[in-house]
Amino acid sequence: MEGLRDVEYLPEPSDRRIVSAVDPTVVGFQDGWRSEVMGWAPVQVQPVVRSRRRPTSLLGLVAFALFVSLSLIMWQNQWLVVELPLPDSEWAYDSTGIRALQEEGYSGEDVRLCMVDTGIDTSHDALASRKVVFKDLIGTSTSPVDYGAVAHGTLMAGLLISGQHQLGAAPNVTFAMVAALQDNGEGENKGFDSDVADAIRWCHFEFLADIISLSLGGTTEGEGATEGDSSSATRQATDAGVYVVAAAGNDGLADDGDVASPGSVSLAISVGATTQNGEMWENSSIGKDSDSNGDLRQVPHQKPEVVAPGQRIVSTGGENMWYSSSGTSDSTVFVAASLALILEANPILKPTPDGGSGCLEMVKQALATSLAGSSMEHDPHMGYGVLDAEAWLKETRTISAC
């Protein structure tokens, strides 16, 4: 009712459904006296709290419109942008022992690492300060470019050499990127096996790489089949002592029977993927007991040799953004980077122009021993175990000459 709009109400202590109208000027004032007058003493009652609705005024509408307009202008000029914390994958660097080796002062200095992928976008803030030697086998660009879907090469390079937000695993390596893969128009990165082979040979003979990182893989040649170009180039490099680290492949749910090539080459290091809790990533490829010649693989060259973090890994992407990806591609970079730190610590293990594969084989033996111990047990999915860069380095220190 209109006449009762501005009154307050006091409920009966015995039944709050019964209320008395009260002059609002005495609400909250002399509550004890009011209870005495009402006959409720010593009980003191509390008034019913009511919200008073005020009619919307023209001035209020104008103020609201001004607020909305001002907010829109501030948003368009990024005055209201809140910087949220960027995601990262520090857990992967920590769990593999990479950060521990960096704390000892290792960063990949004086180690030459060549990556074959879709290229690299060096306009990303985290990569802009990094020196990159670039070779283009897709187009004719003389400056770095990424031809891949979701800038795959940039993602892999960021795990290795990022200089901001999430420090790369071996940021001070002498780094080269060869663009040999590209987006096929369907969101997949593909390339000719001959181009990958040419890229590996360029890394080997032109760049003089100590390590070649291949976050790629193709179908393994069947038993008795002629070796593919990329596998031949990998075999040539590893026979000369160049370390080739390659992805095991992502066909674990529909496995073709072996890890991807050229990681299937005996002296190459094939890498599978694990999740954050250390379990196998379900898509990681399974190795075969025998090679393409039908010969049983021997320790320490059973496939894959090692597994490393490969699920939901955050790294640099296109348009100066950070992306998350999953696959043995990511795992490969962690192993290649760990190897770069180890070669920095033990430069006698680096390949030499006239050398053979002696050092490489000893380093692979050290890898297997550091993961599986004296048992040398191998699992076709997990390899000899999960990457432990600290243990691997410790084991390589026992190599006096090779």
Note whether 71 and 129 are same-domain residues: no
147 token code pair: 């031809």
Please tell me whether residues 231 and 371 are part of one structural domain: yes
Q: Are residues 295 and 344 in the same domain?
A: yes
Residue 402 lies in a domain: no
Based on the domain organization, do 64 and 150 belong to the same domain?
no
Domain boundary among 36, 57, 82: 82
In this structure, what are the phi and psi dihedrals at residue 20, rounded to the nearest 5 degrees? Answer: -115, 140
Q: Which residues pair with 9 in a beta bridge?
A: 21
Structural domain range at position 18? 1-82
Joined together, the tokens standing for residue 277 give 């809790």
In a domain, 301, yes or no: yes
Let me know whether 57 and 155 are in one domain.
no
Contact 339, 112 (CB under 8 A): no
Are 213 and 271 in a shared domain?
yes
Residue 131 falls inside a structural domain: yes
Residue 156 is assigned to a structural domain of this protein: yes
Which residue in 212, 300, 306 sits closest to 262, CA to CA?
212
- Are 70 and 98 members of one domain? no
Are 20 and 58 contained in the same domain? Answer: yes
273 in a structural domain? yes
Residue 214: helix, strand or coil by DSSP? strand
pLDDT at 110: 98
What are the average pLDDT values for consecutive 10-residue runs of the chain, which has 402 residues? 61 68 59 60 60 60 71 55 74 98 98 98 96 97 95 98 97 98 93 97 98 90 70 98 97 82 97 96 95 93 98 95 96 98 97 93 97 89 97 96 82
Of 82, 105, 130, which residue constitutes the final position of a domain? Answer: 82
Q: Cβ distance 155 to 317 under 8 Å? A: yes
pTM for this prediction? 0.79
CB atoms within 10 A of CB 75: 11
Whether 168 is in a domain gets the answer yes
Q: Are residues 58 and 104 in the same domain?
A: no
* DSSP secondary structure, 116-185, as one string: EESB--TTSTTTTTS-EEEEESSS--SS--B-SGGGHHHHHHHHHH--SSS--SSTTSEEEEEE--EE-S
Let me know if residue 53 belongs to a domain. yes
Spatial CA neighbour of 297 closest among 237, 350, 220: 220
CA pair distance 268, 288, nearest whole angstrom = 15
CA distances from 351 to 67, 210, 245, 361, 402 (A): 67, 6, 14, 11, 10
Selection from 116, 119, 303, 349 nearest residue 212 by Cα: 116
Q: What is the CATH number of the domain that holds 167?
A: 3.40.50.200
Domain count for the chain, please give it. 2
Single residue among 82, 117, 144 that ends a domain in this structure: 82
User: Are 163 and 118 in a shared domain?
Assistant: yes
Greatest Cα pair distance, the chain, in angstroms, is 110
Peptide bond connecting 262 to the previous residue in cis, omega within 30 degrees of 0: yes
Residues 252 and 379 grouped into a single domain: yes
Please tell me whether residues 116 and 237 are part of one structural domain. Answer: yes
